[in-house]
């Protein structure tokens, strides 16, 4: 059930996004440590390694963060309308979504031995190269999309973002007050 637009709404939405940032950072550090001990197993679904657990945890965390962002957009779509947030949201999330799932698919193909070694390169090297090549091609497409969706004119005087900030009388808060506003004091 979606949350009501009240004092807790922004806190819950913020926490939903921040939990992903924290979990992803912790798992990235753990991945580096586990890789040093040959216990990470990137691209393999070996349950004695960290990788499959990392995939599940990150996927759940991403889904929750996306759910929170969709709720945020759903509740505030009229207020945010002038700055066209849906296109911006879709382009940014597409980068994460497609690169994430193609990594999982390529890793799955490698673990099922569907990717074979080529010349002096192992199947693991080939699968990593495939992932890197696909990301390079996708980044070109996303760069073109970003050029139009995140137009510089939105930020110029008289542009939609500038006008939105003036219309809503948005003010910049000092850092201490802004942090205090997003802390989950209503939940703790």
> Please, are residues 63 and 56 in contact by the beta-carbon 8 Å criterion?
no
pLDDT tens string 28-63: 999 999 999 999 988 777 899 999 999 899 989 988
- Mean pLDDT, residues 129-157 taken together: 87
Task: Tell me how far apart the alpha carbons of residues 60 and 164 are, in angstroms, rounded to a whole number.
Answer: 34
> Please, are residues 98 and 138 in contact by the beta-carbon 8 Å criterion?
yes
pLDDT tens string 88-123: 888 888 888 888 888 888 888 888 889 899 999 988
User: Who wins on pLDDT, 185 or 179?
Assistant: 179
**Cα atoms in the Cβ-side hemisphere of radius 13 Å centred on 68:** 19
Supply the pTM of this predicted model: 0.68
């Amino acid at each position: 059930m979606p949350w009501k637009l009240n004092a807790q709404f922004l806190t819950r939405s913020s926490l939903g996004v921040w939990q992903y940032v924290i979990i992803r950072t912790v798992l990235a550090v753990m991945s580096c440590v586990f890789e040093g001990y040959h216990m990470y197993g990137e691209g393999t679904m070996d349950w004695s390694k960290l990788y499959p657990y990392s995939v599940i945890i990150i996927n759940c965390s991403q889904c929750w963060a996306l759910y929170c962002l969709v709720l945020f957009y759903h509740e505030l779509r009229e207020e945010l309308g002038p700055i066209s947030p849906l296109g911006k949201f879709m382009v940014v999330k597409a980068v994460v979504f497609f690169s994430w799932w193609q990594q999982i698919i390529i890793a799955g193909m490698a673990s099922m031995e569907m990717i074979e070694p080529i010349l002096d390169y192992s199947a693991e090297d080939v699968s990593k190269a495939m992932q890197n090549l696909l990301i390079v091609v996708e980044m070109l497409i996303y760069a073109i999309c970003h050029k139009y969706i995140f137009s510089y004119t939105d930020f110029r005087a008289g542009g939609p973002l500038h006008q939105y900030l003036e219309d809503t009388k948005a003010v910049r808060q000092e850092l201490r007050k802004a942090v205090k506003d997003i802390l989950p004091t209503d939940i703790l």
